[in-house]
Structure 1
């Protein structure tokens, strides 16, 4: 109930527009195209009951868990890589600055789908054997541990999952680095000069003065970038990674319930992203309140 009290007029307008859009789609299909709606099978696409083994995960639930895995792992890795690139961008060493800038500009100016194809079909085949990632994925695939299944899902697709996570992390890190760079550069120069005047080293300056303030300022935009990352996981389906969108396409083919499945997939994405968006706005309001 507290969440609904915090909603503003704009939130209700967005929810009303979303409900109106879904209603318009339903009306068009039900009365104009004469589509035979059947939502009864949707729950079984997530969980079904086997008389012998009991309740089992179905394709959509497996895809949803893979979506969460890809999003969490990619978010962690992209934050680490993005922070490294941001520190290189603000470095006083020119070669580090230009190297990071070249990487960021290269990634940001390539469409994500093109970047995904280039990395998955060309780069990963060259670097995975060298880095031992392929042998590591094969070793995990041979394990019967429940822990491996929890963290990586279906053992057959572990290498695909790792490739997708690395690719998405590299792509998102370019944008995360710009968020961190903006946060670092927002810290007043007078604070840095004051720190250096008392003998603080460059490392100590970044660790104790600049980064704590920068990280606090970058949390809301990082949450916003996480929303983009979650939506970008859908492009993993083009390289047969078993995430939520890919699972939806499989259920459409097997069941023939085209609109029911895709509307369900859209609703799940909307709930996750809208909840994160509301959380991001709350963080911004909290920070503004602290400043005042």
Structure 2
């Protein structure tokens, strides 16, 4: 095991100084030389605002959009992981029929732009599906105050059909990439693991559940984390179907206030607050797993 500690060298310090210098120069140019009058005073009300009618603080439009993005990302990641795991197992199945289903799914989804996929699913499939299942009529008959749990999980009830369409579209799109991640993770497991578990009397299903998949997910964790972060960022695409997530809120506020740079600067920061903790959590988890591996 390599216990060599990483040390900061003079080259690291020099590179850091260069980066800080470039960022400082760029910031100075933007603030002083750009022909733009900055006005940050309008931003706080879009983060949190004080409601005088109820004498309480409420989430501003950008914060509400952030919560919608968070809901959309969490549900999309959950369903994409389920779809990707199932299709990843199909990809290495001994049955040609399952391999054909998975290959067709991956080949079709990965070669369609996500924007086109959203249009197809929302305007053609999603609209018909929502009406056929009665979700659209049900959303019109519900009330946010009567179903607070549903509102917390899915957002405003009148937006549930669009929200579900967005989640399904994102899940299908991201699931195709997770399929390949899971497949490569399973194929990276040595053949001896299959043989040893088979010798213990485990059938193929139990081999996958108890032996192969845990190791495959552990080895694929950095790649999966990158895909999860990509899902959060890709969620901005659903703003085109009027889901009021963070990018949609930013577009509306930009049109209303004409504070282009201020609004989008805050949107960038809010996306960073969503994605950066995911990166930190994965690093911590990787270190723990590597420590257990070496112990």
TM superposition score normalised by structure 2:
0.86
Aligned length: 285
SS of the residue 1:56 aligns to: strand
Aligned to 1:182: 184
The 5 A counterparts of 1:3-42 are 21=23, 24=26, 27-28=29-30, 30-33=32-35, 35-42=36-43
The 5 A counterparts of 1:273-288 are 273-288=275-290
The 5 A counterparts of 1:197-208 are 197-208=199-210
Write the distance in 1 (CA, Å) between the matches of 2:38 and 2:165: 38
Write the distance in 1 (CA, Å) between the matches of 2:232 and 2:17: 20
After superposition, what is the alpha-carbon deviation per residue over 1:112-143, rounded to whole angstroms, capped at 9, x for unaligned? 11111111111212333334443454454577
Aligned to 2:91: 89
Query: Contact between 1:88 and 1:97, CA under 8 Å: does it hold in 2?
Result: yes
Deviation of the 1:109 alpha carbon:
1.4
Shift in alpha-carbon separation, 1:143–1:252, aligned structure 2, 3 A: same
Aligned to 1:3: none
| Pairing 1:154–2:161 present | no
Aligned to 1:264: 266
Query: Contact between 1:30 and 1:36, CA under 8 Å: does it hold in 2?
Result: no
| Residue in structure 1 matching 2:241, options 231, 239, 242 | 239
Write the distance in 2 (CA, Å) between the matches of 1:287 and 1:198: 25
Write the distance in 2 (CA, Å) between the matches of 1:14 and 1:53: 49
SS of the residue 2:66 aligns to: helix
Shift in alpha-carbon separation, 1:18–1:149, aligned structure 2, 3 A: farther
Query: Contact between 1:142 and 1:155, CA under 8 Å: does it hold in 2?
Result: yes
| Residue in structure 1 matching 2:146, options 119, 144, 147 | 144
Write the distance in 2 (CA, Å) between the matches of 1:225 and 1:15: 31
Write the distance in 2 (CA, Å) between the matches of 1:89 and 1:161: 30
Aligned to 2:3: none
Moved more, 160-169 or 134-143: 134-143
Q: Specify every segment of 5 or more residues in structure 2 that has no aligned partner in the other structure, as ranges.
A: 1-5
Deviation of the 1:90 alpha carbon:
1.3
Write the distance in 1 (CA, Å) between the matches of 2:77 and 2:288: 23
Deviation of the 1:18 alpha carbon:
8.8
After superposition, what is the alpha-carbon deviation per residue over 1:154-182, rounded to whole angstroms, capped at 9, x for unaligned? 22211111111111111111111111111
Moved more, 248-257 or 226-235: 248-257
Write the distance in 1 (CA, Å) between the matches of 2:106 and 2:113: 13
SS of the residue 2:41 aligns to: coil
Deviation of the 1:88 alpha carbon:
1.1
Shift in alpha-carbon separation, 1:129–1:50, aligned structure 2, 3 A: closer
Write the distance in 1 (CA, Å) between the matches of 2:221 and 2:284: 11
Query: Contact between 1:66 and 1:243, CA under 8 Å: does it hold in 2?
Result: yes
TM superposition score normalised by structure 1:
0.86
SS of the residue 1:110 aligns to: coil
Write the distance in 1 (CA, Å) between the matches of 2:272 and 2:20: 9
Alpha carbon RMSD of aligned pairs, Å? 2.9
The 5 A counterparts of 1:99-178 are 99-140=101-142, 144-178=146-180
Query: Contact between 1:224 and 1:280, CA under 8 Å: does it hold in 2?
Result: no
